[in-house]
Amino acid sequence: MKKIFISIFILILCSVKSYAETAKEILIEGNKRISNETIKTYGNLETNKNYSEKDLDLVLKDLYSTDFFEEVNIELSNNILKVSVKEFPLINQLIIIGEKRNKFKEEIKKLIKSKSKRPFIKSNIANDIDLIKQLYSSVGYNFSNVTSKINKIDDFNLDLVFEIEKGNLTTISSIQFIGDKKIKDSRLRSIIASEEDKFWKVISKNTKFSKNLVNLDIRLLKNYYKSIGFRDVQILSNTANIDAEGNINLIYSIDAGTRYMFNKMDTNLDKTFNKKDFFNLKQVYEKYIGEYYSPFTIKKILDEIDEIIDKKNLQFVEHNVNEKTVGDKINLTFNISEGEKFLVERINILGNNVTNEDVIRGELLVDEGDPYTLLALEKSIAKIKARNIFGDVSYEVDQGSSNDLKTINIEVSEKATGEISAGAGVGTNGGQFAISVQENNWLGQGKRVGLNLELSSESILGTLNYTNPNYDLLGNALSYSVSSERNDKPDLGYENSIQSLYISTSFEQFKDITASLGLSASYDDLQTDNTASESLKKQKGSFVDFSADYGFRLDNRNRAFMPTSGSILSFSQSLPVVADKAAISNTLTASSYKSFGEDVVGSAKFFFTAINGVGEDDVRLSKRKTLSSKRLRGFEKNKIGPKDGTDHIGGNYASAINFDMNLPNLLPDNTNTDISLFLDIGNVWGVDYDSSIDDTNKIRSSTGLSANWISPIGPVSFTFSQNLSKANTDITESFNFNLGTTF
């Protein structure tokens, strides 16, 4: 037995010796371009250091991870650590053949792993080819062919060539929705991103077929259906049929399923917490019980829970929600528990090749050193996605340097952030054209820069906008704009030019309440001829105005796009600081939305605005109030209210009330026509510069039908109206149409 123990002891000693040896010398061979010191640094190699087999495996892994070496061999013998390497050849030039556009070539070079002046790794080529094909598919070239070729210079250098055949551009010739969809096609078309290829859509990129666009459509459709109660909606299939011309017929098969309503809501609270802290949740639940199911509503309730957690300064809190269906009803249980107690050691941002890192970190609700909660992390990811400057945002949580620490890796995928759109229209009020160019991630700083131009037969307006959505990482938006407008109305005997500069900031003051502050400066020049009215001649000249404004907005809508419930209320006021003709302006707006069925949404809107001169100053012509034809249908644009001679001059006050309701199933789906019923009530009144002018303080009203038709020559809107009340000086309009679109 004693001999056995001695043998085991000797064996252990030999094992220790074989797995741990001191490297007194480091010998590196086979390297041509990579220096010895670089290899030692990447491999963490040191003399007079003990290396076990595990340590040597780690060195091997570290050296391979550099992508410098095709082969690495490590041997430790007689206290000499020998490292033999074979370097990858170097890509001398990366050449792209078959693509003429330099911008697209640069995009390819940025996207693929193979780079000029970097090692050539053969295993990357197949993935690079796939990435190039995906890039072309995203812009409509779905049948591209990409091949690679190597031009060897010597044993250590080569040129890498990608030859590209783009093939034909694949456009979307038609879009169909089939199945138990319960929603009209026209509404579904307005939700998805894809568009049918029409001649007026010459600029739109969404008429080009791509898998990414189809996947986006499916997400948008699912989100919309779920937001109006169809919790279990299924997009059963999306079929892309190729027609005779090589274009795509998109078909979405939809099973809307049951439309659910909220039935019961309760809280499952961990015993660690005080029940009194969360008692007010019952009032929140009562507000939503009986409404249609919506993930947006659930998010609002979770936000209320977060607010309680913040106010009570509770940490390491996690919450989730369980949903249980009973027939067409849903019962919700909100679980609030104490999570595991971890701290955030480090947050790594990956994949931001264009966007500055501080843009991403500025959206984070969790920082290094903070308590780690999955809730705060997921809300941070949602905020980053909401910036709409990344194609994808994902995260991974790893163990930190100790058991109570976590490392968070956030990876973003850059996407094109520039937009260009144009619109043209012709109608009973004349023709107009507009073009807009915008960059949503200017210089990778997350800032928006836009240029807008609007043209009509009588006016031209140009505006340059700049917005920083998160100024100084404070969560406040800071905006600047410069505009120039010129109105030429020879039939009324005047021309008017206005140049203005505006700076503003907006921020969330309270929950759902946004506050704004602004400063504006303008130069207003009015010139008249002999045919102008006497009142216009009196206002002839140049005037400077410098004013300050503020405003508040309360937004309780269930969603900003196509709301079906909730309301939005706003108020703003402009005050003169220095002005040749000083005036105070006030505006109040309110809108309320309500769903009366699966495809029936009604809205009620209120608008009031007023402007009054300070002291003996009269209000300038360019600042007087009017009502657009959208706020008061059945009347010509700016042709109601006070009249000076033959001119409608606007008033000191304007107000309107609008009631709208869409009428579903009035026409078949294949007509691509939406019909809605409206009732408009409005008035423009008040003349401060001449008491002899009748201010026609009379309520105007109209009712009628409006139709939006997707015609073969472009979108057309019609308005058929009947005046219920009007003044003698008003110019009515029983029929109005507009042909126009964005492209």
Q: What is the pLDDT of residues 264-318, one digit of tens each?
A: 999 999 888 888 889 889 999 998 999 899 998 998 899 889 888 888 888 888 8
Phi-psi bin for 513: left (phi > 0), alpha (psi -120 to 50), beta?
beta
Residues 301 and 209 in one domain: no
Listed residue (666, 656, 655, 743) closest to 706, CA to CA: 666
Contact 236, 222 (CB under 8 A): no
- Residues of the chain with confidence (pLDDT) below 50: 1, 4-6, 8-18, 741-743
Listed residues 255, 281, 303: the one ending a domain: 255
Six-digit token pair at 568? Answer: 């939005």
Residues 185 and 294 in one domain: no
Strand partners, 150: 160
The CATH number of the domain holding residue 541 is 2.40.160.50
Strand partners, 468: 478
Q: Which residue has the tokens 């009196």?
A: 538
Contacts of residue 537, defined as CB under 8 A and 6 or more positions apart, other chains included, come to 528
pLDDT at 54: 85
Question: Up-side HSE of residue 247: CA atoms within 13 Å toward CB?
Answer: 13
Residues 58 and 179 in one domain: no
Q: Quick check: is 9 in a domain?
A: no
Six-digit token pair at 16? Answer: 């220790």
Q: How far is the C-alpha of 612 from the C-alpha of 536, rounded, in Å?
A: 18
Q: How far is the C-alpha of 239 from the C-alpha of 117, rounded, in Å?
A: 44
Residue 43, number of CB atoms within 10 A of its CB? 23
pLDDT at 9: 46
Q: Quick check: is 10 in a domain?
A: no
Q: Quick check: is 646 in a domain?
A: yes
**Residue 100's domain spans which residues?**
90-165
The CATH number of the domain holding residue 244 is 3.10.20.310
pLDDT at 598: 66
Six-digit token pair at 382? Answer: 């949602």
Q: Quick check: is 231 in a domain?
A: yes
Q: How far is the C-alpha of 137 from the C-alpha of 142, rounded, in Å?
A: 4
Residues 604 and 651 in one domain: yes
Six-digit token pair at 345? Answer: 């050691």
Residues 561 and 708 in one domain: yes
Q: Quick check: is 446 in a domain?
A: yes
Listed residues 439, 458, 489: the one ending a domain: 489
Q: Which residue has the tokens 């009712």?
A: 703
The pTM assigned to this predicted structure is 0.67
Residues 545 and 481 in one domain: no
Contact 610, 573 (CB under 8 A): no
pLDDT at 333: 95
Residue 177, number of CB atoms within 10 A of its CB? 20
Is the alpha carbon torsion for 334, 339, 343, 345 positive or negative? negative
Listed residue (334, 337, 256) closest to 292, CA to CA: 256
Q: How far is the C-alpha of 222 from the C-alpha of 215, rounded, in Å?
A: 11
pLDDT at 740: 52
pLDDT at 409: 94
Residues 265 and 223 in one domain: no
pLDDT digits (tens, 9 = 90+) for 502-524: 999 998 888 789 999 999 999 99
Q: How far is the C-alpha of 421 from the C-alpha of 511, rounded, in Å?
A: 34
pLDDT at 238: 67
Residue 543, number of CB atoms within 10 A of its CB? 17
Listed residues 165, 194, 225: the one ending a domain: 165
Residues 242 and 269 in one domain: no
Q: Quick check: is 214 in a domain?
A: yes
Residues 533 and 681 in one domain: yes
Strand partners, 120: none
DSSP helix/strand/coil, 111: helix
pLDDT at 263: 94
- For residue 379, give Cα distances in angstroms to 130, 399, 557: 33, 21, 20
Residues 272 and 292 in one domain: yes
Q: Quick check: is 625 in a domain?
A: yes
Number of domain units in the chain? 7
Q: Quick check: is 275 in a domain?
A: yes
Residues 185 and 270 in one domain: no
Strand partners, 265: 332
pLDDT at 556: 87
Residues 21 and 74 in one domain: yes
